[in-house]
């Protein structure tokens, strides 16, 4: 999953981005509202972490412009005493907010919930036949037995699972699996799919040759 963090305070941006990467998200960052809006409109992020007070364009203006075309889940960061900021953000289309200072564990938990709900999957546990995917713990079992997946293998499985019944193109996979600085080789997706099939069963993921992959609903 790919997250955009729009935060102008360097230390906070660095800490948040590092925590999200540690949680196996691909992360892009923006230092001001103009850069944030450009990236938010250019790529299809799974969620956006958006500070209210930003140079060049504030968080409200960015959110209003984004909502004209996209429904990307947005988690806004606000000051402790700024109730009006939170109300304004929610009215403009924010999906959730977090008051500064905050615990990084709560930030990642809220993002997981936002992403699940945006895909129509409110529960953290998803069952596909004998395979169970727990999006909260990022763990996978088959017939109750834990299966070890690499971070990228799990991320790809989660993307396909949350889009179950929908064809996911290779372009979509790369857009959601890697950040803007990643220059991974184009055959990596094939390698990850092959590894997932070997570990969880060859019938789990269907290849639509020339188009992409799908987990049948």
CA distance 79 to 152: 34
One domain, residues 205 and 113: no
Asked if 7 and 49 touch (Cβ cutoff 8 Å), the reply is yes
Q: CA triplet 103, 105, 106: central angle to 5 degrees?
A: 70
CATH number at residue 107: 3.40.50.2300
Task: Quickly count: other Cβ atoms within 10 Å of residue 41's Cβ.
Answer: 15
The confidence band for 80, taking pLDDT boundaries of 50, 70 and 90, is: low
The confidence band for 184, taking pLDDT boundaries of 50, 70 and 90, is: low
One domain, residues 113 and 152: no
One domain, residues 138 and 92: no
One domain, residues 112 and 129: no
Instruction: Read off the pLDDT of residues 17-53 as tens digits, 9 standing for 90 and up.
Output: 999 999 989 999 999 999 999 999 999 999 999 999 9
pLDDT at 81 over 80: no
One domain, residues 8 and 110: yes
CATH number at residue 152: 1.10.10.10
Domain of residue 135: give its range. Answer: 125-214
């Amino acid at each position: 999953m790919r997250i955009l963090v729009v935060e102008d305070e360097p230390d906070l941006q660095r800490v948040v981005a590092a925590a999200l990467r540690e949680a196996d998200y691909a992360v892009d960052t923006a230092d001001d509202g103009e850069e944030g809006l450009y990236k938010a409109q250019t790529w299809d992020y799974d969620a956006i972490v958006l500070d209210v007070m930003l140079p060049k364009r504030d968080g409200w203006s960015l959110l209003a412009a984004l909502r004209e075309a996209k429904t990307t889940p947005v988690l806004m960061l606000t000051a402790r005493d700024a109730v009006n900021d939170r109300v304004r953000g929610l009215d403009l289309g924010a999906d959730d907010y977090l008051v500064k200072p905050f615990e990084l564990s709560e930030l990642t938990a809220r993002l997981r919930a936002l992403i699940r709900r945006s895909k129509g999957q409110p529960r953290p546990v998803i069952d596909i036949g004998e395979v169970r995917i727990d999006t909260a713990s990022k763990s996978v079992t088959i017939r109750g037995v834990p299966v070890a997946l690499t971070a990228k293998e799990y991320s790809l499985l989660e993307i396909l699972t949350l889009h179950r019944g929908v064809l996911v193109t290779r372009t979509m996979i790369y857009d959601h699996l890697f950040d803007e600085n990643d220059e991974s080789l184009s055959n990596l997706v094939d390698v990850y799919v092959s590894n997932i099939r070997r570990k969880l069963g060859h019938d789990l993921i269907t290849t639509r040759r020339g188009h992409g992959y799908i987990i049948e609903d």
